[in-house]
Amino acid sequence: MKTPRRISIIITMLSFIVAGKAQTVSYTYDDSGNRETRTIVMGGGLKSAVSQSAETDKNEEEIFQETLGEMSINIFPNPTTGKLSIRFDNRPEDVKTSITVYDLNARIICRKTNIPESSEIDLSQEPAGNYILVIRVGEIASRWQVVKQ
């Protein structure tokens, strides 16, 4: 029973590696060395960007955004103390959407399918650390690192 699960985990991790090679990531920084934007160029010619303000007030919630064609994905807050919100803008109605959260050992923490325009993931029961959030919209996968404090 453990062998099929190990094979599944290996295939999942290999898909991360293969998909990672199909895109290029570039960053811009301000004069103080703070990251201002992240731009991702997908292998299929799609261009997407994640922007974050360098002057975010500590009391203000920081929203990370990625644009995939006409659609945008908003994730906040990151880092999180428990609940992570995900919002889709201009998502096509007929496209299947799923969210999966993995820990760094490739264990599935949470999986949701056919999610609405706005969804929330509760990580409050999980230990502090880094997690991988994979959002699939149709054939496109977007991967994020989420920090749980």
Q: Per-residue confidence of the chain (149 residues) as pLDDT tens digits?
A: 567 777 777 776 656 555 544 556 667 777 777 777 766 554 443 333 344 443 444 444 678 888 877 888 999 998 999 999 999 998 888 888 999 999 999 999 999 998 888 999 999 999 999 999 999 988 888 899 999 99
Report whether 106 contacts 12 (CB < 8 A): yes
3-class DSSP state of 51:
strand
Write out the CATH class of domain 2-148.
mainly beta
Q: Domain residue spans in the chain?
A: 2-148
CA distance 79 to 147: 5
Strand runs labelled E in 1-63: 23-29, 35-42, 47-51
Structure tokens at 82: 């428990």
Residues 6+ apart with CB under 8 A from 53: 36, 62
Global pTM value: 0.60
